Structure 1
Amino acid sequence: MKNLSLRTVTVMRYILPLREGGSLPALAEADDDFKYVIKFRGAGHGVKMLISELLGGMIASKLELQIPELVFANLDVDFGRMEADEEIQDLLKFSEGLNLGLHFLSGAIAYDSSITIDAVLASKIVWLDAFITNIDRTFKNTNLMMWHKELWVIDNGASFYFHHSWQNFDAAAKTPFKYVKDYVLLSQATQLREADLFAKEHLNDEFFRNLVDLIPDEWLQWNDTDETPDEIRQVYFQFMKTRLANSEIFLNEAENARR
């Protein structure tokens, strides 16, 4: 397996804030002339939200789900000084360096839960969210888009929530995913066992190792731990390895919730 990689772009123009949730993402244009939805390290949950977005997005892609291209988005020190909104100016000031961008899907519309989708696709997305512990794909906020008549997965920043307490990693990896009962696609996810088999054919230690190596060092300088960046990467690696080996736990929870 070749090493995973992301392109790095430089943000050139802040277009407008996307005031959804507490993270204040924004639509911006980069030096490659493409537009991106930028998630900022200076927002509420900081770099941990960016790590969740990176890991969750790359796993979704590995599971052959449609997800906008992820890029590292560099913000220069002077960027945003002319911004009139003080809240946005502060956000940009504290986001100097590498942030995360998702390619903007121009013309995409939010997924309507009344739309029936393929059962295997629904099952793979439910499996993904139970695996990465993503609490934020509900009827209220689906974080799914319809684009070119296909369903696209966006916004995985509310996943891997164990890292906010940063303890009992092994126990956290073996928990059921109780939030699955609120998931927008659960009623359509009739092929969860097939999704589990598919995931285990595509996810493995080598992929997880390459994935955690993709996390930039500057996202791993945490004030709430003395661990080095490589030690933090090892925790994420072990969490994913253990959770995959114990997928039966969250699989049973999802099947029970469906009943």
Structure 2
Amino acid sequence: MSLQSVRATRFVAPLREGGSLPGIVEADDLGTYVAKFRGAGQGLNVLVAEVVVAGLARALGLDTPRLVVVELEEAIARYEADEEVQDLLTASLGANLGVDFLPGSFGFDTSVDVDPEWAGRVLWLDAFVANVDRSWRNPNLLVWHGRPWLIDHGASLYFHHGWAGGLTSPERFAVQPWDASAHVLSRWTASAAALDDALAGVVTDEVLETAVADVPDEWLVPVPGAEDAAALRTAYVDFLRARRDGGRTWLPGSAR
């Protein structure tokens, strides 16, 4: 695991915009993070998707906040006054995900013009990982230091939610179409199609393996057919490789 591990020293405030109730925490490295908790209703798969997709975004030259593992101890939960938050923290003792807090950042304005090449990269990434959560209602883009930053990728990689009963085949995911109609950058689908071959070439097997390697072992819950963390890492790489190499008819605007 290559993610830095930090220890939470204070729970600052909950963020109630989303359904998973993330929160702002301070840590012993003097950093401030948006914590995504392992005890939230969506489960550990959401944290896995966050790590994997952030790694792919960086490989494609897209800015996304630094990630860390936030170790949460009982004392942090014990002194939280809000009962709902206390229950969540108590259920999340151990390793959680921390997303670097970007002070002074603000929400992406969907009405402004953007660089078509950048928009094409974002669209291609979201299509590749089947991200359904970058709509005009909820862009999951922040502007910080004059640049757009991608956040919140937990709704990607839907296939792993079907593994509880046993590992599935990557064939369906390899060709599953992706609908860009509600995407905040949908008007740049032509840019994504024009960049298709170049971006697929960036996402090499080594890039896939590196992104998956960043996931902590304890977030990779064994399923029938993949009884340990190593086998689950292999499955993630297999699914993403299959989507990359399966003709990429899932990309909106593709002429394939």
TM-score by length of 2: 0.92
CA distance in 1, matches of 2:195, 2:7: 37
The letter of the residue matching 1:48 is: N
Distance in 2 separating the partners of 1:224 and 1:14? 37
Confirm or deny: 8 A CA contact 2:67 2:97 kept in the other structure: yes
Q: 1:211 to 1:27 in 2, by over 3 A?
A: same
Distance, in Å, in 2 between the alignment partners of 1:132 and 1:138 is: 15
2:148 corresponds in structure 1 to 151
Counterpart of 1:19 in structure 2 is 16
Q: Is the 8 A contact 2:24 2:32 kept in 1?
A: yes
**Corresponding residue of 2:60:** 63
Query: 2: CA distance between counterparts of 1:93 and 1:223?
Result: 25
Match of 1:47 in 2: 44
The whole-number CA distance in structure 2 between the counterparts of 1:107 and 1:190 is 33
Equivalent position amino acid for 1:80 in 2: A
In structure 2, C-alpha distance between the alignment counterparts of 1:177 and 1:148, rounded to whole Å: 35
Offset, 1:175: 2.9
Extract unaligned runs of 5+ from structure 1.
Answer: none
Matches within 5 A, 1:1-259: 5-166=2-163, 168-222=168-222, 227-246=227-246, 248-251=248-251, 254-255=252-253
CA distance in 2, matches of 1:87, 1:112: 32
Contact 1:174 1:249 survives alignment (8 Å) = no
After superposing the two structures, state which structure 1 stretch, 74-83 or 234-243, moved more. 74-83
Structure 1: which amino acid aligns with 2:209?
R
Contact 2:69 2:98 in 1 (8 A): yes
Deviation at 1:79, TM superposition (A): 2.1
Q: Secondary structure at the residue paired with 1:23?
A: coil
CA contact (8 A) 1:162 1:172 kept: no
Q: Deviations over 1:183-206 (max 9, x none)?
A: 110103431234323322321112
Q: Which shifted more, 195-204 or 216-225?
A: 216-225
CA pair 86-124 structure 1, distance change in 2 beyond 3 A: same
Distance 2:241 2:225 in 1: 22
Cα distance change on mapping 1:80 and 1:124 into 2, 3 Å? same
Structure 2: tracts of 5 or more residues without a match: none
Q: Any conservation in 1 of the 2:11–2:25 contact (CA below 8 Å)?
A: yes
Residues in 1 aligned to 2:136 and 2:30: alpha-carbon distance in whole angstroms? 34
Distance (whole Å) between structure 1 residues aligned to residue 139 and residue 169 of structure 2: 28
Q: Deviations over 1:138-168 (max 9, x none)?
A: 0111000111111110110110011111253
